[in-house]
Amino acid sequence: MSDAVLEELPGDRVRVRVEGREFVIDAACTHRLGRLVHGHVNPRTLRITCPLHSTSFDLTTGCPVAGPSAQALTVHHTGVLGQLYEPQDVWLPASERLLEWDDGFHDLMLGDRLRMAAYKAAITEAVRPGGVVLDLGTGTGILAQWALEAGAARVYGIDLNEKILRTATERLTEAGFGDRFHPLSGFSFDIELPERVDLIISEIMGNLADNENCVAILDDARSRFLRPGGAMLPVAVESYLVPVTAELAHGRVLDGVPQDAGSPAAFAELLRARGARDAFDLYYDAIIPVGGQLAAPRLARRYAFEGTHGAHETSYEVPLVYTVQRDGLFTGFKGYFVATLSDTVALDISGDEVSAGDPEARTTSDSWKHAYLPVRDAVPVRRGDRIALTFSRRRPSATGSGSFGQVYGWEGAVVSGDVTVARFAHSTRPDEEGGTP
């Protein structure tokens, strides 16, 4: 294990770098204002201990875990060192591999400032003191902890990953909430709660909104777990698509090795297993700059999770037509979501500022990024041209309604005047083309 590096920052804060992680916390202990820059950091437990009166704090949450202080530190920023990236770097789609998420990816989510700030504010606003909450997809338990800190009487936490659920239980026990957190291991479709809840919290959206099957999961949860008049967080989510020029991203797909794909042989095997014709029958996680957008974004799908309506339709075809606003090279589509988390808190992942020097300046989501849906043959376009897109989602033939998988398709044409100058057709499971959309 490496030694921690502590550095005083303006605003009476301290930066702690340890075991590949970065934390920015209050500089003074909440007990007797001991200077934490002189404290001891345990790299294994990620705790810092005040040099004056030995109060220890969890660096990930700020909660005191030992010693005389009962007041938490403010954690202003968390991050994962070495996770710096550039616009148009391409990564395999995390939402298609969620059952493979390891501790490193959970660390990336915990360090995602955009995600964390929005969810903490929304949970603080939505939780009513004494209410009962379900955290669906609880992961490391951070959302459940914020609900308990906001006054929830108890929180049920559901997660498929037993290892990460144990981590959540340990964290919440150390934070003093062990008797109010009730972990449940399994798929939510197969679980029964002992009571209806006042609020369902979830963060199971992908960067296309529905690419972690959140819609079917939340529809089921609302109908079986939520009391009449209860609330959902998020309240609603909208997905958007926009044609882009992203030549670097297109070139990286053409080269055939995304950032996290391992060797070319490993990536080729992944594509073969999916029945893909080539690397263009897959979408990718990437930050696509706003400056590369060739037209105005169009709403692809909107889901409202609250209310008494029935289940949403999760298989669909959406026709969209874009008028090109500037000359450029059309290389594919950028996808992203805008979620209404609570009455006054929204989460918009469309931003493109990836500044490494100032975490406060970042407008990107480090964990979601954007979805990049490439077209195989890039097409020069001019202002006034039209790009017609049919975007589709359907269930793969081999899975039931409760699974995570889906098949996306993006096909269409580029039209200049009355002439169709190019066509494109891509699917994440082209071997299943012809199935019911």
Residue 124 clears pLDDT 50, i.e. is over it:
yes
Specify the pLDDT at position 401.
41
Specify the pLDDT at position 150.
97
- The proportion of the chain whose per-residue pLDDT surpasses 90, expressed as a percent, equals 61
CATH number of 5-80: 2.102.10.10
Question: For 167-194, how does the pLDDT look when each residue is reduced to its tens digit (9 = 90+)?
Answer: 899 989 988 999 999 999 999 999 999 9
Mean pLDDT of 383-399: 87
- How is the beta sheet containing 197-202 ordered, strand by strand? 181-185, 154-159, 132-136, 197-202, 226-233
Specify the pLDDT at position 352.
87
pLDDT band at residue 79 under the 50/70/90 scheme? low
Give CA separation, 241 vs 103, 178, 296, 421, in Å: 31, 43, 9, 21
CA angle 196, 198, 203 (to 5 degrees): 100
Specify the pLDDT at position 406.
87
Specify the pLDDT at position 2.
62
Mean per-residue pLDDT of the chain: 89
Topology agreement, domain 105-235 and domain 237-432: no
Mean pLDDT of 31-52: 90
φ, ψ for residue 275 (rounded to 5)? 75, 20
Task: Return the domain boundaries, the chain.
Answer: 5-80, 105-235, 237-432
Specify the pLDDT at position 172.
94
Contact 151, 127 (CB under 8 A): yes
Residue 405 clears pLDDT 60, i.e. is over it:
yes
Q: Is 219 exposed, middle or buried (0-12, 13-18, 19+ CB in 10 A)?
A: middle
Mean pLDDT of 45-66: 89
Between 108 and 204, where is the model more confident?
204
Specify the pLDDT at position 294.
99
54's CB contacts (< 8 A; 6+ apart) are: 66, 67
pLDDT band at residue 84 under the 50/70/90 scheme? low
Architecture of the domain defined by 237-432 = Distorted Sandwich (2.70)
Question: For 296-324, how does the pLDDT look when each residue is reduced to its tens digit (9 = 90+)?
Answer: 999 999 999 987 677 889 899 999 999 99
Mean pLDDT of 413-434: 88
Question: For 136-152, how does the pLDDT look when each residue is reduced to its tens digit (9 = 90+)?
Answer: 999 989 999 999 999 99
CATH class of this structure's domain 105-235: alpha beta
